[in-house]
Amino acid sequence: MYRLFVSLTILIFAASTAAAGTSAPKELKDLYFGEALYCAFQGDWFDAVARLDTELEQHYGLDEPRRDSLYYHINQAEFAVGDFELAYRMHRRAGRAITAVIEGNVREQVRNEAIFRLARIYFQKDQPINALYAVERTRGVVPPQIHDDLGFLRAQIFMANGRFTEAARILRDLQDAESLEGFSTYNLGVALLKDGKELKGRQYLDLAGRINGSDALTMAIKDKSNLVLGSKLLKEKNFEGVKQVLDRVHLKSPFSNRALLGSGWADAFQGRFERALVPWSVLVTREVTDASVQEAMLAVPYAYGKLDVHSKAAVMYGKALEKFGTEIDKLGASIKSIREGYFLRALAREELKQDANWVVKLRKLPQTPETYYLLELMASHDFQESLKNYLDLEELRKKLETWEGDLDAFEEIIEQRRAYYQPRLPAIDGKFRRLDSLMRLRLEQRNRIEQRLKAMLVVPRPDYLATAKERIISEQIVQLEQKLTAKSSTTPSSINDRIKRLRGVLHWNIYTDYDRRFTEAYKHLRDLNQVVDRLKRQYAAFVRTRQAATQSYEGYDEVIRRQRFLILEAREKVGELMARQGHMLETMAANELTRRRERLSELQIKARFGMAESYDRAIRAQTQEKVSP
Amino acid sequence: MLRWLRGVILGISVLVLSFAAHAQEVSREQIKGLDEQVQEIKSDVLGIAAELNQLEEKLLYPSNTQVAIFVSLASGETFRLDSVEIQLDGKPVAHHLYTFKELEALQKGGVQRIYAGNIRTGEHDLQVSVIGKPLGGADFRNTKSFKVNKDVGPKIVEISLAAQSITFKDR
Q: Which tens digits make up the pLDDT trace of A385-424?
A: 898 899 999 999 999 999 999 999 999 999 999 999 999 9
> Using one digit for the tens of pLDDT, what is the confidence trace for A567-624?
999 999 999 999 999 999 999 989 988 999 999 999 999 999 999 999 888 888 888 7
Asked if B38 lies within 8 A of A37 by C-beta distance, the reply is no
B162 interfaces chain A, CB cutoff of 8 Å:
no
Residues β-bridged to residue B84 = B96, B130
Residues 24-83 of B with CB under 8 A from A: 24-26, 28, 30-32, 34-39, 41-56, 58-60, 62, 64-65, 68, 70, 72, 75
pLDDT at A623: 83
| pLDDT tens-digit readout, A496-550 | 888 899 999 999 999 999 999 999 999 999 999 999 999 998 998 889 888 888 8
- Give the N- to C-terminal CA distance of chain A in Å, as an integer: 53
- The predicted structure's pLDDT at residue A353: 64
Residue pair A49/B126 in contact (Cβ under 8 Å)? The answer is no
Q: Cβ(A49)–Cβ(A345) under 8 Å? A: no
- How remote is the C-alpha of A494 from its chain's centroid? 105
| B129 contacts: CB under 8 Å, gap ≥ 6 | B84, B85, B87, B141, B142, B143
**Higher confidence at residue A472 or residue A126?**
A472
Residues A85 and B46 sit within 8 Å (Cβ to Cβ): no
Res A366: pLDDT: 63
**Confidence at residue A17, expressed as pLDDT on a 0 to 100 scale:** 40
**Looking at residue A192, what is its pLDDT?**
94
Mean pLDDT of A40-67: 91
DSSP per-residue codes, A581-607: HHHHHHHHHHHHHHHHHHHHHHHHHHH
Task: Please give the average per-residue pLDDT across B61-72, as a whole number.
Answer: 92
* Section A36-48 average pLDDT: 94
Categorize the per-residue pLDDT at A330 as very low, low, confident or very high, splitting at 50, 70 and 90.
Answer: confident
3-state secondary structure A495-548: HHHHHHHHHHHHHHHHHHCHHHHHHHHHHHHHHHHHHHHHHHHHHHHHHHHHHH
pLDDT at A243: 87
For an interface test with B, give the residue of A84, A237, A242, A396 to mutate (most B CBs within 10 A).
Answer: A396
A336: left (phi over 0), alpha (psi -120 to 50) or beta: alpha
**What is the CATH number that goes with domain B66-170?**
2.60.40
Going by pLDDT thresholds of 50, 70 and 90, the confidence category of residue A357 is: low
pLDDT band, residue B38 (cuts 50/70/90): very high
Predicted confidence at residue A374, as pLDDT, reads: 79
State the burial class of residue B132 (Cβ atoms within 10 Å of its Cβ: 0-12, 13-18, 19+).
buried
Name the band, by pLDDT with cuts 50, 70 and 90, for residue A2.
Answer: very low
Of B13, B31, B70, the CB nearest to A386: B31
A577 close to B (CB below 8 A): yes
Give the mean pLDDT of A114-135.
87
Half-sphere exposure of A176 (CA within 13 A, CB side): 2
Interval B39-60: pLDDT, tens: 999 999 999 999 999 899 889 9
Mapped onto helix, strand or coil, the DSSP state of residue B71 is strand
Q: Do B42 and A39 touch (CB under 8 A)?
A: no
Mean pLDDT of chain A: 87
Residues A291 and A327: their CA atoms lie apart, in Å, by 12
Q: Is B138 helix (H, G, I), strand (E, B) or coil?
A: coil
Question: Does residue B5 have a pLDDT over 50?
Answer: no
- Give A255→chain B minimum CA distance, Å: 9
pLDDT at A22: 73
Ordered by start, the domain boundaries in chain B are 25-60, 66-170
Residue-wise pLDDT tens digits, B120-138: 989 999 999 999 998 888 8
Q: Which residues of A touch B109 (CB under 8 A)?
A: 23-25, 28, 34, 37, 41
CA distance A80 to A85: 8
B105 interfaces chain A, CB cutoff of 8 Å: yes
Report chain B's mean pLDDT, rounded to a whole number: 85
Q: Is A517 at the interface with chain B, CB within 8 A?
A: no
Q: Do A581 and B113 touch (CB under 8 A)?
A: no
C-alpha distance from A533 to closest chain B C-alpha (Å): 16
- Judged by a CB distance cut-off of 8 A, whether residue A556 touches chain B is yes
Q: Which of A285, A274, A205, A211 is nearest to A241 (CA)?
A: A205
Residue A542 · residue A513 · CB < 8 Å: no
Number of neighbours of residue A512 by Cβ within 10 angstroms: 11
Please indicate whether, in this complex, the C-beta atoms of B45 and A560 are within 8 angstroms of each other.
no
**Chain B contact present for A265, CB below 8 A:** yes
Using DSSP's 3-state secondary structure scheme, residue B158 falls into: strand
Q: How far apart are the first and last CA of chain B?
A: 79
Out of A239-253, A267-281, A411-425, B39-53, least confident range:
A239-253
Which pLDDT score, from 0 to 100, does residue B132 have?
93
pTM of the model: 0.77
Question: Which tops the pLDDT comparison, B67 or A486?
Answer: B67
